[in-house]
Amino acid sequence: MIPVLVRLDTYAHIRNKWPSISTNCMKIVCIHITELQHAVFYTVTL
């Protein structure tokens, strides 16, 4: 399990391109970073 910080729009793009990746990601916490806008920490099982 690896924590990955991604922008919400980036994650949505990845999930649309590879729908199966959403089953391997679990939202941990939503945070707000000015530079990243709304970002989300996901744990990814590799």
Q: What is the pLDDT of residue 37?
A: 55
3-class secondary structure for the chain?
A: CEEEEEEHHHHHHHHHHCHHHHHHEEEEEEEEECCCEEEEEEEECC
Q: What average pLDDT score do residues 34-45 get?
A: 56
Q: What is the pLDDT of residue 16?
A: 78
* Domain ranges, residue 16: 2-44
**Per-residue pLDDT reduced to its tens digit, 5-25:** 676 777 777 777 776 655 555
Do the beta carbons of residue 28 and residue 3 sit within 8 Å? yes
Q: What is the pLDDT of residue 29?
A: 45
Q: Which residues pair with 5 in a beta bridge?
A: 41
What does the mean pLDDT of the chain come to?
60
Do the beta carbons of residue 32 and residue 7 sit within 8 Å? no
User: How many domains does one find in the chain?
Assistant: 1
